[in-house]
Amino acid sequence: MKNPIELTLFELVEEIKSGNLDKDEVFFAYKKQINDYDEVYRAYISLCEKPEKINEGLLTGAPIAIKDNICTRGIKTTCASKILGNYKPPYNATVVEKIKDAGGYVIGKANMDEFAMGSSTENSAFFPSRNPWDRECVPGGSSGGSAVAVAAREAAAALGSDTGGSVRCPASFCGLVGLKTTYGLISRYGLVAFANSLEQIGPLTRDVRDCALLLNVISGHDENDGTSLFANRENYLSYIGREVRGMKLGIPREFMGEGTDENVKKAVWNCVNLLEGFGATWKEVDLPSVKYALPAYYMIAMSEASSNLARYDGIRYGFRHEDEGQDWSSSYSKTRGEGFGKEVKRRIILGTFALSSGYYEAYYLKALKVRTLIRNDFNRLFKEYDVLLGPTMPTPAFKIGEKVDDPLAMYATDIDTVSINLSGMPALSIPCGYSHGLPLGLQIMAPALGEGRIFSVASKLEEELRLSLRPPL
């Protein structure tokens, strides 16, 4: 009898549908794994019971971890923040409904950086998560708990959200596949907003086929989301294993710059050489505006965060500072001062400053202009190249506590991921090698709605690399 936790999502569903595995057996196998390991790795903020009814569909019987900023009806959705510590939404996010309709279910709500603000999951108001490859290292962020759940075999797959790399970063650090889709391909309805124009829900899975399967389930237009695309539905599984002969690959020099670990560079070039052996051609290219991506991204993200988080006032829902006799202004100030963590307050303050009179044109408006330049640069290259390749992260996972007190060093870890969010285009991280026993990620980027060609390239590389992606739990 196969152990359910060792099966990929695709294999698990096939075994359940064929009658070789019982749904209850699957649930209890994963619950046992959680009981055995989660006290150490801390993937989850809260756990859920198996639903009484499970539908038949693409995900029949599959336990899925959901990042704790994605709404789940009647189940705590805290955003890893004290200010939403006991909040239970009255509705499900569209992606949660789609998973349930397809026969999957929520096994737990995954830990994260508070309000998705961070790259290490150390900014959670509750506890940091630990990397299953090395428990002294961060799992990446902000979707770190989602990545840990999949890597530690505590979920068959997971959903995270990606505002500036928050799915791809933990995928790289934890040896997983993580996808940031074209903006609008997946509904954002029910995703607690941090930076509306940048963030997308995305899958974290053990392999490329699982990622395509999960995307088949959660993608598609949603009338509840004004940013949702009217795009033709695709079967992304049909791209798995397709030939890459004749594809043109661009390798942006800017993604291999100062601060990129030599082992990361070697792993990326190894992938380029493998694809060349399959008949693809490549050339080094320039993305000159990318050097401005990091400051532009943080200016836009912090400004949108300042606006979005103004709703947390302690009056309508969430945490409230209790002090009889105080006026509204004092209550509001104390509630937000105690309810938000240091990093969230830092970003609110900086964003409010950037949007204030006299500074809007100098900072926020200028960042929007840079965003246009970055999108134009990508569009220029995609007229000639099918995909772009580079590192997901410039280094392997770093130690817990190493950067948490240095915001600029933490922000700099996003240097290779934020430009895709600014462009609105898709990118996927796949494992491409190791450095001192820690996984490394290759980032594959494509033009808008180019997820299919990404899956073709990624599945070909995955098949050839044959990496062992079982962390030493």
Q: Report the distance separating Cα 136 and Cα 9, nearest Å.
A: 28
Quote the distance between the C-alpha of residue 384 and its chain's center: 28
CB-hemisphere CA count at 13 Å for 368?
10
User: What is the SS3 string spanning 223-269?
Assistant: CCCCCCCCCCCCCHHHHCCCCCCCCEEEEEHHHHCCCCCHHHHHHHH
Measured in residues, the chain has a length of 473
- Is residue 142 part of the annotated active site? The answer reads yes
Q: Which member of 142, 219, 303, 306 is catalytic?
A: 142
- Is residue 419 part of the annotated active site? The answer reads no
What is the DSSP-derived secondary structure letter of residue 83?
G
Q: Hey, how many other C-beta atoms are within 10 angstroms of the C-beta on 81?
A: 28
- Is residue 228 part of the annotated active site? The answer reads no
CB-hemisphere CA count at 13 Å for 297?
29
Q: Which member of 81, 119, 120, 166 is catalytic?
A: 166
Partners of 58 in beta bridges: none
Nearest CA-CA partner of 157 in 171, 141, 137: 171
Contact of 198 with 235, CB cutoff 8 Å: no
Nearest CA-CA partner of 432 in 275, 245, 257: 275
The three-point CA angle 205-420-392 to 5° equals 50
Q: Mind telling me the catalytic residues?
A: 67, 142, 166
